[in-house]
Amino acid sequence: MLFTPFEIKETVDMFLRYNLDIRAITLGVSLLDCASATGEGTRRRIREKLLSVAGSLVSVGRDIEIEYGIPIINKRISVTPIALVAGSSEDRDYTPYAQTLDEVARELGVDFVGGFSALVQKGFSEGDKRLVDSIPHALAVTERVCASVNVAGTKSGVNMDAVRRMGEVIKSAAEETADRDGLGCAKLVVLCNAPEDNPFMAGAFHGSGEGENCLNVGVSGPGVVKAALESHKTASFDQLADIIKKTAFKITRMGQLVGMEAAKRLGVPFGILDLSLAPTPAVGDSVARILEAMGLEAAGTHGTTAALAMLTDMIKKGGIMASTHVGGFSGAFIPVSEDEGMVNAVKTGSICLDKLEAMTSVCSVGLDMIALPGDTPASTISAIIADEMAIGMMNNKTTAVRVIPAPGKKAGDWAEFGGLLGGAPVMAVNPAGSGDFIARGGRIPAPIHSFRN
């Protein structure tokens, strides 16, 4: 017998009871050959190429869902950072590029397009400046476009001029979408050590080191891991670690199957599989609840960082054995608005911004989908970014900041973003200022351990 009745039931339960899904199949497309001397010409080439290469992405995803019975939540596209593609044109405002991407995404039925991005970890080119300046309005007038800016790296240090500018950009993006609780900021992430092959938004872009195109897959299954832990309530940490690792292996094999099949049908290479426990607002699909299943009364209490460290490590160990090419973020996400357990922890006061920052030293990304008071100064936002970039730089890991200063809201109010983005209580920030620190500018040098060659 190929599969036992228990194994068949276990697989069915993963999908029907524990919210296992393919969170995203993301088609990466190089736009380097679309650059021309005019913005109009470049945008025309971008449109033509995306319609040609990604025309069947959504239908392929739906066919696989029907044939295999595996939910694929999002179909996405990531493109070459637009700052690189648009730099040769005469355009001062890059908003039309975002609008072109948005129009194509809508026409194709794609959920999100990532790549309205710039890489400025060591400095700004003229194209980088134009793109960053365009972000607030571009995100306000589009629905499906996501932006990202890499401002730091272990090899380069932290570009504090970029950090200061991104605090201002985030404030502007919130103000431009004030009628939607600052929704524009939910589609903008600031990164350290950004991966070039990430299938998850808002940080996805098709890196310059990637091939012409490829298919990357993001798998998620917090509910499956939680259920596995709940059936072993008295297990030791050694046993828990093994349970998580074996569960991650099973989840990853399913993602590998879908990724290889989707790439084959699209006629593109299979890129990477990103096994990240990415939660949703749905009950039973929470990373916070996994931590609580380990014995914590509430996420955020003492012991949370240790529990998250083990969870992240075992997810990676199990996943890397199940796929030849693992990449992206891979680990455990701890967004607030997208995780009902995290929302509850904020409401009950068991977790705060400082504790979340500590947890980011061991999770797979960083401060994610956190609503801040609308009157938070840009310099304070920049300082929050600087702290998170320092964690990534010193620990040689990817870290990110996606915060939303909700206009008109104060600590304790509710900010709503809708869909997979969810909603969240507004969290308090430290009232002491950081303005003089941020105003210094320049670059924080790379750490001594970055000097490896």
Strand blocks (E) in 63-181? 72-79, 112-119, 145-153, 157-159
Q: Is 266 helix (H, G, I), strand (E, B) or coil?
A: helix
Q: Which of 133, 157, 192 is the last residue of a domain?
A: 192
Same structural domain, 295 and 411 = yes
pLDDT surpassing 80 at residue 282: no
Q: Which residues contact 156 (CB under 8 A, 6 or more apart)?
A: 121, 122, 443, 446
Give the range among 218-232, 234-248, 329-343 with minimum mean pLDDT: 218-232
What is the pLDDT at residue 4? 57
Asked whether residue 9 is domain-assigned, the answer is: no
Rounded mean pLDDT of 376-400?
A: 95
Tell me whether residue 52 is in a domain.
yes
**What count of other Cβ atoms lies within 10 Å of the Cβ of residue 8?**
11
Structure token digits, residue 267:
């006629």
Structural domain includes residue 136: yes
**At 318, is the pLDDT very low, low, confident or very high (cuts 50, 70, 90)?**
confident
Task: Tell me if 18 is assigned to some domain.
Answer: no
Domain finish residue from 143, 177, 192: 192
% of the chain surpassing 70 pLDDT: 95
- Give the phi and the psi of residue 107 in degrees, each rounded to 5: -65, -35
Domain check: are 292 and 424 in the same one?
Answer: yes
Cβ contacts of 358 within 8 Å, gap of 6 or more: 305
- Among 192, 223, 242, the domain boundary falls at 192
Task: Report pLDDT for 3.
Answer: 45
Q: In whole angstroms, what is the distance from residue 300 CA to residue 339 CA?
A: 13
Residues 317 and 397 in one domain: yes
Residue 15 pLDDT more than 60? no
Is the pLDDT score of 13 beyond 70? no
Q: In sequence order, what are the residues at sequence separation of 6 or more whose Cβ sits closer than 8 angstroms to the Cβ of residue 20?
A: 14, 71, 220, 221, 223, 224, 251, 254
Q: Are residues 300 and 397 in the same domain?
A: yes
Residue 411 belongs to some domain of the structure: yes
Rounded Cα distance, 352 and 206, in Å = 34
Q: Are residues 366 and 293 in the same domain?
A: yes
Domain that holds residue 290: 215-447
Please give the backbone phi and psi of residue 26, each rounded to the nearest 5 degrees, phi first: -120, 120
How much is the pLDDT for 250? 81
pLDDT at 273: 87
Q: Are residues 188 and 222 in the same domain?
A: no
Indicate whether 105 belongs to any domain: yes
Instruction: Tell me, yes or no, whether 237 and 147 share the same domain.
Output: no
Whether residues 171 and 251 share a domain: the answer is no
Q: How far apart are CA 170 and CA 137, in angstroms?
A: 11
Same domain flag for 144 and 286: no
CA distances from residue 417 to 73, 289, 293, 338, 398 in whole angstroms, order as listed: 18, 22, 28, 10, 25
Pairing state of beta strands 21-29 and 213-220? antiparallel
Digit-coded pLDDT (tens) for 154-186: 999 999 999 999 999 999 999 999 999 999 999
For position 125, which CATH number holds? 3.20.70.20
Tell whether 106 is covered by a domain. Answer: yes
Spatial contact of 326 and 404, defined as CB atoms under 8 Å apart: no
Whether residue 91 is contained in a domain is answered as: yes
Number of folded domains in the chain? Answer: 2
User: What is the pLDDT confidence band of residue 12, given thresholds at 50, 70 and 90?
Assistant: low
